[in-house]
């Protein structure tokens, strides 16, 4: 029963990635669970729009890199996107 509740919560956070208003919190929560949920990479990969949302978070900070005007909030917001993309990359390359 607990596993089903955790899986439901993971899918809820994945759905929340599609909304810019809820994306930051969802990214933080998913990044905390990436070690505990072995199927997270395929869950992210096969969820509609998720890869685009992760890439958007990273792309959004590029204008602030040069000239260097990146704020701590911008950096903190994009930080959880990188490990999420990494686990998808590793999983799809090794499968």
d(CA 42, CA 79): 20
Structure tokens at 20: 């810019």
What pTM was computed for the model? 0.78
- Give me 84's structure tokens: 């999420």
Rounded distance between C-alpha atoms, residue 68 and residue 63, angstroms: 9
Question: Average pLDDT of the chain?
Answer: 85
* CA distance linking residue 26 with residue 71, whole number of Å: 20
pLDDT at 74: 81
pLDDT reported for residue 61: 82
Determine the pLDDT at residue 43. Answer: 92
Please give the angle made by the CA atoms of 39, 43 and 47, to the nearest 5 degrees. Answer: 175
Low-confidence residues of the chain, pLDDT below 70? 1, 92-95
Q: Does a cis peptide bond (omega within 30 degrees of 0) precede residue 81?
A: no
């Amino acid at each position: 029963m607990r596993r089903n509740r955790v899986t439901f919560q993971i899918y809820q956070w994945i759905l929340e990635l599609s909304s810019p208003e809820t994306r930051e919190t969802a990214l933080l929560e998913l990044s905390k669970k990436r070690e505990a949920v072995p199927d997270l990479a395929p869950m992210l990969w096969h969820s509609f729009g998720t890869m685009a949302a992760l890439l958007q978070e990273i792309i959004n900070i590029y204008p602030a890199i040069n000239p260097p005007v990146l704020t701590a909030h911008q950096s903190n917001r994009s930080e959880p996107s990188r490990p999420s993309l990494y686990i998808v990359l590793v999983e799809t390359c090794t499968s």
